Amino acid sequence: MQLWQILLIITGVLAVVLIVLFILGKRLEKKQAAQKEQMEAAKQNVTLLIIDKKRLRVKDSGLPQIVIDQVPKIMRRSKLPIVKVKIGPKIMNMISEESIFDIIPVKKEVRATISGIYITEVRGLHSPLPVPEKKKKFSQRMRDKLFAKREQLKADKAQADKEAAKKKNKKK
């Protein structure tokens, strides 16, 4: 076999793989859209008292056994954003959407939109929720430290210059 024949075979295999991935992606998009529609149909607005929130594995989350059994095996080892809430007299564990997990306040009452055991949206009951600060990247933290050191050195030098000027004035 010559080089051009090998490259032609590899190109053909790659084309088939890309077509299969494209078809699977379209199917998964349709499934996701259907699930989103069902979530929208079943949503309710409720008042929740947030007791605790953690990222836990599915088996450690305290969710009902039916829910744990329905989770795909691939996802069982990953951590989910679990929120322990009090709805009326009942205390439950619920799953939060990843995008709102950081803004959920602990030990506060909130107005939430839920769909089954999923918390999809959170609003403050008495006041707006505080927006948490975003984590700084490592490079940004190092840059901030460097600028702080430079500013400190400038301030120290200015202080030394002032003291030197005072000593000069005293001698005169």
pLDDT in tens, 33-59: 999 899 888 899 999 999 999 999 998
Query: How many secondary structure helices (H) and strands (E) does the chain include?
Result: 3, 5
Contact of 134 with 155, CB cutoff 8 Å: no
In angstroms, the Cα distances linking 64 to 40, 73, 89, 156 are 22, 16, 18, 62
Pairing label, strands 90-96, 44-57: unpaired
pTM as predicted: 0.64
Alpha helices in 42-80 (DSSP H): 65-70
- Dist. CA 15–CA 152, nearest whole Å: 60
In angstroms, the Cα distances linking 144 to 14, 85, 126, 138 are 46, 38, 36, 10
CATH 2.40.50.660 fits 42-134, yes or no: yes
Return the higher-pLDDT residue of 142 and 169. 142
pLDDT of residue 20: 97
pLDDT of residue 163: 87
Query: What are the structure tokens assigned to 149, written together?
Result: 């050191």
